[in-house]
């Protein structure tokens, strides 16, 4: 007797239970850090801005009334502060971001003065501190600017540099290899013989894993042969943190993945999830190496990748928000329920009136790759008898692209 099917939530919990963050490394704060996950809190080395500076192009002056004539005695440019201290009756030409000269208490924008050979005439009154950016207004020395677990996008890199960092401690990227089983599989563009199909899974999953931060090894195809399957898996297990193998995890006479993994000492954590598409999904581990046996049908492979592999890749990289945010929508059409399994529909989302409406994106067979094209999300239809009516609430999960 096969073990009973487990729920999606239970399967995900078991995956996350096995996925511990990998080690950390230090990388330069430029492009090498982009998309990586910060492993340590980052604190500001100094104040940002480091010195009081001007918010406008204009003149640094002493605050006061309108209609004053002030002699221009120098200039403070970005990167080149003024050499002189400002005294009463004087003004110093200043650029945005340039240091406020000693003695100055405000900046008057250039549009608020008239320039009269070597002097300015103020057209408005200026309050103390006007148009001055204070030191530490953005960040204070010692302040935590980025928390461990933050994914480093462009803004985070900019803030990190401003905070004074040159290198960042980040989690190591998971090493991932995709293996596809099937005698029928041909490489992209290869002519097809009788009964053959193109191997869509390998390039697709390899790309999705890369987009999720993995460093991938070139995918490998394995024939439907027990010894070859074991050899291929053995090699992949040696050098990777995560092995994703597609096909061959059902119970057909040519499904060799499970026995091969067992022989290689990969311990089964679960097999078969109450999910359509994606029932034969297998997950196991050998030490800290994770192995996902995903169903061969491309749609099943993408759905199970997004529900189980993605959260694992996020957890291995120490991502604090595991990107599992789920939201709700209402069904746009009635959907026939599966008595035993939750269905993950590929849907299009549309705002109609106040409601977010989820409509199945074409035929939902697990072999219909085109159901993924233009789909906005997965929508979950709980197991049950009869139809789930149009207008019923469904939860959503993101679909990788
Ligand atoms: P399996 O799980 O090996 O029984 O495969 C289930 C279905 O998915 C079969 O119709 C396979 O031909 C198909 N399939 C398996 N692997 C791939 C692949 N890499 N690309 C496209 N289709 C596949
Ligand atoms: Mg097969």
In short, whether 246's Cβ falls inside 6 Å of ligand 1 is yes
In short, whether 277's Cβ falls inside 6 Å of ligand 1 is no
Protein residue whose Cα sits closest to atom 16 of ligand 1: 296
C-alpha of 382 from chain center: 28
Nearest atom within ligand 1 for CA of residue 300: 8
Nearest atom within ligand 1 for CA of residue 221: 19
- Which ligand places an atom closest to the C-alpha of 281? 1
Give the residue from 11, 291, 257 showing the smallest Cα distance to 177. 291
pLDDT at 1 over 70: no
Give the residue from 135, 140, 226 showing the smallest Cα distance to 234. 226
Nearest atom within ligand 1 for CA of residue 252: 4
Identify the pLDDT of residue 383.
Answer: 96
Q: Which of the listed residues 226, 246, 369 should we mutate to test ligand 1's pocket, taking the one with most ligand atoms within 8 A of CB?
A: 246
Give the residue from 265, 256, 310 showing the smallest Cα distance to 285. 265
Instruction: Provide mean pLDDT across the span 301-318.
Output: 97
How large a percentage of the chain has pLDDT more than 90?
95
Identify the pLDDT of residue 321.
Answer: 58
In short, whether 229's Cβ falls inside 6 Å of ligand 1 is no
Q: Kindly state the tokens that stand for 284.
A: 């196991």
Identify the pLDDT of residue 369.
Answer: 93
Contacts of 245 (CB under 8 A, 6+ apart): 178, 179, 180, 181, 222, 233, 236, 257, 291, 292, 293, 294
Identify the pLDDT of residue 302.
Answer: 97
- The mean of the pLDDT values for the chain is 96
In short, whether 185's Cβ falls inside 6 Å of ligand 1 is yes
Identify the pLDDT of residue 325.
Answer: 54
pLDDT tens, position by position, 90-127: 999 999 999 999 999 999 999 999 999 999 999 999 99
pLDDT at 72 over 70: yes
**How many Å lie between the centroid of ligand 2 and the Cα of residue 239?**
24
Protein residue whose Cα sits closest to atom 17 of ligand 1: 296
In short, whether 180's Cβ falls inside 6 Å of ligand 1 is yes
Q: How far is 2 from 88, CA to CA, in rounded Å? A: 90
In short, whether 304's Cβ falls inside 6 Å of ligand 1 is no
Q: How far is 330 from 356, CA to CA, in rounded Å? A: 6
Contacts of 14 (CB under 8 A, 6+ apart): 6, 269, 270, 283
Instruction: Provide mean pLDDT across the span 386-393.
Output: 97
Neighbour count for residue 235 (Cβ, 10 Å): 15
Protein residue whose Cα sits closest to atom 3 of ligand 1: 247
Instruction: Provide mean pLDDT across the span 258-269.
Output: 98
Give the residue from 401, 354, 352 showing the smallest Cα distance to 378. 401
**How many Å lie between the centroid of ligand 1 and the Cα of residue 336?**
25
Q: Which of the listed residues 179, 190, 205, 296 should we mutate to test ligand 1's pocket, taking the one with most ligand atoms within 8 A of CB?
A: 296
Neighbour count for residue 264 (Cβ, 10 Å): 17
pLDDT tens, position by position, 142-198: 999 999 999 999 999 999 999 999 999 999 999 999 999 999 999 999 999 999 999
The predicted model scores a pTM of 0.90
Strand partners, 396: 327, 379
299: phi then psi, degrees, rounded to nearest 5? -70, -40
**How many Å lie between the centroid of ligand 2 and the Cα of residue 367?**
13
Q: How far is 205 from 221, CA to CA, in rounded Å? A: 13
**How many Å lie between the centroid of ligand 2 and the Cα of residue 193?**
16
In short, whether 220's Cβ falls inside 6 Å of ligand 1 is no
In short, whether 21's Cβ falls inside 6 Å of ligand 1 is no
Nearest atom within ligand 1 for CA of residue 199: 20
* Helix (H), strand (E) counts: the chain: 7, 28
304: phi then psi, degrees, rounded to nearest 5? -75, -30
In short, whether 293's Cβ falls inside 6 Å of ligand 1 is no
The full DSSP string for 256-304 is -HHHHHHHTTPEEEEE-BSEES-TT-EEEEETTEEEEEE-SSHHHHHHH
pLDDT tens, position by position, 325-379: 568 999 999 999 999 999 999 999 999 999 999 999 999 999 999 999 999 999 9
Protein residue whose Cα sits closest to atom 5 of ligand 1: 296
């Amino acid at each position: 007797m096969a073990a009973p099917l487990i729920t999606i939530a239970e399967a995900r919990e078991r995956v996350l239970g096995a996925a511990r963050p990998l080690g950390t490394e230090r990388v330069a704060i430029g492009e090498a850090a982009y998309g990586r996950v910060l492993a340590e809190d980052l604190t500001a080395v100094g104040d940002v801005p480091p010195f009081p500076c001007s918010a406008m192009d204009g003149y640094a002056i002493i605050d006061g009334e309108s209609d004053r004539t002030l002699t221009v005695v120098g200039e403070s440019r970005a990167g080149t502060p003024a050499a002189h201290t400002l005294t009463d009756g004087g003004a110093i030409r200043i650029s945005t971001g340039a240091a406020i000269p000693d003695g100055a208490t405000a900046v008057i924008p250039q549009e608020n003065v008239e320039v009269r050979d070597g002097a300015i005439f103020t057209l408005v009154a200026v309050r103390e501190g006007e148009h001055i950016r204070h030191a530490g207004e953005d960040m204070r020395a010692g302040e935590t600017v980025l928390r461990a677990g933050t994914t480093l996008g462009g803004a985070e890199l900019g803030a990190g540099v401003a905070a004074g960092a040159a290198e960042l401690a980040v989690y190591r990227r998971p090493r991932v290899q995709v293996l596809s089983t099937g005698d029928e599989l041909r490489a992209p563009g290869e002519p097809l013989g009788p009964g053959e199909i193109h191997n869509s899974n390998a390039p697709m999953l390899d790309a999705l894993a890369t987009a999720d931060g993995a460093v991938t090894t070139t995918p490998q195809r394995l024939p439907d042969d027990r010894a070859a399957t074991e050899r291929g898996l053995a090699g992949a297990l040696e050098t990777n943190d995560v092995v994703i193998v597609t096909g061959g995890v059902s119970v057909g006479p040519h499904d060799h993945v499970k026995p091969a993994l067992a022989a290689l000492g990969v311990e089964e954590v679960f097999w078969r999830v109450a999910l359509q598409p994606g029932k034969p999904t297998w997950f196991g581990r050998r030490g800290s190496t994770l192995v996902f046996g995903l169903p061969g049908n491309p749609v099943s492979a993408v759905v199970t990748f997004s529900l189980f592999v993605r959260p694992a890749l996020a957890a291995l990289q120490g991502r604090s928000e595991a990107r599992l945010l789920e939201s709700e929508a209402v069904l746009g059409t009635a959907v026939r329920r599966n008595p035993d399994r939750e269905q993950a529909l590929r849907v299009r989302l549309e705002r109609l009136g106040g409601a977010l409406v989820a409509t199945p994106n074409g035929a939902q067979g697990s072999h219909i790759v085109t159901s993924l094209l233009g789909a906005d999300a997965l929508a979950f239809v709980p197991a049950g008898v009869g139809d789930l009516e149009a207008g019923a609430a469904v939860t959503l999960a993101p679909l990788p692209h």
